[in-house]
Structure 1
Amino acid sequence: MNNLIFNYVSHETISSFEAFITLIKKWNRKTGLVQVDTLDAIWDRHILDSLQIIPFIGSKDNQILDIGTGGGFPGILLAIAGFTKIELCESNIRKTVFLTEAVRELKLPTKVIHDRVENISTQYDVIVSRACASLELLLQYMKNVSRETGTTGVFLKGKTASEEIDTALEKWDFDYDLFPSITAKDSKIIVVRNLKGKGNK
């Protein structure tokens, strides 16, 4: 385990992370939650990678939607870290069954939504996503569930982050900050605010 984890969470949470890892390994063969060759490096590749967005999310009471959460990254990790109002959106039924079981076993205050994000009408303070879709598409989803007072998007992206920003700016107006990932040299964290369609549509 990488000690950088303790920059984001307390020692008291580690047993819950370990329990979650046990569940991932138990379910992974039949559910395909993570790539098999990443399991040996799960603390860095998945746990720390998810937790590093905590400084960009704000209050632990913010209403958060994790789009295309898959195996619960980053949403379940954030819930273990103490965020109290997280909803996990996943359209794959097998992954939804896993998420529901993980939330139950870990006793997390987290809601699992088995649906496509396009069908969600709730508004959120923060939208998060990890390796789910292009930034342009994520912003479309974000716009649909944003508060009029403003919603923040926090997106974990790979080496195409800058290109995805350029493409998204052709359709959307938004402010953004780009931060380096601490777990992968070519990866980035994109933080989006003040999202509007071109022409303020």
Structure 2
Amino acid sequence: MTPPFPDQPPAVREKLVAFAALLRRWNARINLVSPADLPVLEQRHVADCLQLVPLLPPDAATLTDMGSGAGFPGLILAIATGLPATLIESDQRKASFLREAARTCGASVSVLPQRLEEARPPPAPVVTARALAPLGRLLGWAEPLLAPGGICLFLKGRQAGDELTAAAAEWHMAATRIPSRTSADGVILRLSDIRRATSDAGPRRS
């Protein structure tokens, strides 16, 4: 049988296997992923997140993950790359899992158990999210978290095109759509040069 994550270095592969085992144990107590996904956890969730690794800027020193949940994609990226990551997750039980998973896997992670509207970590060059909210809302959350010149990497589904169209009413951005290798309907959005469309017209009037 082919070992999981064959394209990863042995040390990373060992940590990812440990992460998956820990998640399965915790999932009996708190709902981290659907029970139906447990048999395909490595492919459906972990490998899906690993697609972002080659899309990270080579000079990125850190990243911030919004709505981390069970660690997708932020914790997986921290494990795979060694980058320090800030994981924002308002659910206290999931935040506890993230801390334990980071400790188990030796990942450099800071967990903020706060709502995205309230969290204010230092701006990061990369902001990520997976299956969290429509694009326009994601950009509103990401704007104060993103360093100047930074990028967003969002794992999206079949509605990605419609979300880009809807978000264009409020946001300007350079968008690249990358087909997912793990889901026929999946798309990775790489967004840069992000700014609010209203900035073109000057400050808003109250």
Native 8 Å contact 1:60 1:82 kept in 2: no
**Per-residue deviation, 1:146:** 2.0
Q: Distance in 1 between matches of 2:165 and 2:95?
A: 33
Q: TM-score, normalised by structure 1?
A: 0.93
**Per-residue deviation, 1:153:** 0.3
- CA deviations 1:168-189 (Å, max 9, x no partner) are 1111111100010000111100
- CA deviations 1:98-122 (Å, max 9, x no partner) are 1111112222111111001222222
Higher mean Cα deviation, 107-116 or 174-183? Answer: 107-116
Residue identity (%): 30
Q: In the superposition, relative to structure 1, how do residues 4 and 57 fare at CA in structure 2: closer, same or farther (>3 Å)?
A: farther
Q: Hey, what does 1:28 align to over in structure 2?
A: 27
- CA deviations 1:32-91 (Å, max 9, x no partner) are 111111111111101110000111112375220010010001111111112322111000
Structure 1's consecutive aligned runs of 4 or more residues displaced over 2 angstroms after TM superposition are: 1-7, 59-62
Q: Hey, what does 2:141 align to over in structure 1?
A: 141
Q: TM-score, normalised by structure 2?
A: 0.90
Q: Distance in 2 between matches of 1:75 and 1:169?
A: 26
Q: Hey, what does 1:74 align to over in structure 2?
A: 73
Q: Hey, what does 2:128 align to over in structure 1?
A: 128
Q: Distance in 1 between matches of 2:30 and 2:151?
A: 31
Mapping for residues 34-183 of structure 1, pairs under 5 Å: 34-59=33-58, 61-121=60-120, 122-147=122-147, 149-183=148-182
Higher mean Cα deviation, 132-141 or 102-111? Answer: 102-111
Q: Distance in 1 between matches of 2:54 and 2:138?
A: 20
Q: Distance in 2 between matches of 1:176 and 1:152?
A: 10
Native 8 Å contact 2:53 2:81 kept in 1: no
Q: Distance in 1 between matches of 2:60 and 2:2?
A: 27
> Structure 1: which amino acid aligns with 2:35?
V
Q: Distance in 2 between matches of 1:28 and 1:10?
A: 27
Native 8 Å contact 1:63 1:124 kept in 2: yes
Q: Give unmatched runs, 5+ long, in structure 2.
A: none
Native 8 Å contact 1:79 1:108 kept in 2: yes
Q: Distance in 2 between matches of 1:193 and 1:116?
A: 24
Q: Distance in 1 between matches of 2:57 and 2:159?
A: 26
RMSD value, Cα: 1.8
Larger-gyration structure (1/2): 2
Q: Distance in 2 between matches of 1:66 and 1:166?
A: 24
> Structure 2: which amino acid aligns with 1:19?
A
Native 8 Å contact 1:27 1:98 kept in 2: yes
Aligned residues: 199
Q: In the superposition, relative to structure 1, how do residues 95 and 171 fare at CA in structure 2: closer, same or farther (>3 Å)?
A: same
Higher mean Cα deviation, 76-85 or 66-75? Answer: 76-85
